[in-house]
Amino acid sequence: MESARLKLAAIVSMPFAENTYVASLVGRSDCLVFDPGLEPYKIFEYLDAEGLEPAAIINTHGHADHIAGNADLKERWPDCPLVIGENDAPMLTDPRLNLSRQFGMDLYSPAADVTLADGETYSAAGFDLLVHEIPGHSPGHIVLVWQEHEPFFVFGGDVLFAGSIGRTDFPGGSFETLRDGIHRHLFKLPDDTVVLPGHGPTTTIGEEKAQNPFVGRPAGYRG
């Protein structure tokens, strides 16, 4: 996806079909890497082909499929900050918390260099991103909203999907908490806001308000 200012790539890692996003501004050689997954070589191939270097590695949350590539990226770019929400930071270095152990592998990420809290703005690679903490899928899941572009973009991780929401049956999960966070933070955004989810295709806030069977109008949302 490319606009007059934004250059955006989605790189899908198996076996969980997790979306890594690489975002850069046209004319710049630095970028943001969101949620590097289990096939980091695909990220390297894209960055090398485009002549890009990450200014930040940003994890929307600490589950294994979204942090698996952290170590590889940090090995190549050791000075690049690793960024995550403050309440999910412990998951990076604990395979029990990041759920890798239950899938038969102990995955360890480097520790966070920067932790973010709800309401902060994080700036890197020319982007100013508003941080919202929306727990419910994980204890400290964050989404990051870029509002200096029309339409807005939400780097959303596993909060809101096209026609679905993130699982809430993991440790620290809560459907009610997730639903309320989506209503309070995301459904207040303009309808044409683009949501970039951690799995599956992009969607918009308007689409999910109208049709999402878990949190939209079919489920009783009246906003």
Q: Which residue type occupies 15?
A: P
pLDDT at 40 over 90: yes
**CATH number of the domain enclosing 137:** 3.60.15.10
pLDDT at 2 over 60: no
The whole-angstrom separation of Cα 192 and Cα 21 is: 19
Average pLDDT score over residue span 183-194: 98
Share of the chain above pLDDT 70, in %: 98
Whether 147 maps to a domain, the answer reads: yes
**Structural domain span for residue 10:** 6-219
Judging by DSSP bridges, how do beta strands 127-133 and 142-146 pair with one another?
antiparallel
Residue 6 pairs in a beta bridge with 25
Whether 164 maps to a domain, the answer reads: yes
The whole-angstrom separation of Cα 39 and Cα 61 is: 18
Q: Which residue type occupies 9?
A: A
The whole-angstrom separation of Cα 153 and Cα 221 is: 22
List of long-range contacts for 45-49, beta carbons under 8 Å, 24+ apart: 46/9, 46/11, 46/22, 47/22
Q: Which residue type occupies 37?
A: G
The whole-angstrom separation of Cα 141 and Cα 143 is: 7
Query: Mean pLDDT of all residues in the chain?
Result: 96
pTM of the model: 0.95
Q: Are 208 and 188 in contact (CB under 8 A)?
A: no
Number of domains in the chain: 1
Whether 1 maps to a domain, the answer reads: no
pLDDT tens digits along 87-146? 999 999 999 999 999 888 899 999 999 999 999 999 999 999 999 999 999 999 999 999
pLDDT tens digits along 144-175? 999 998 899 999 999 999 999 999 999 889 99
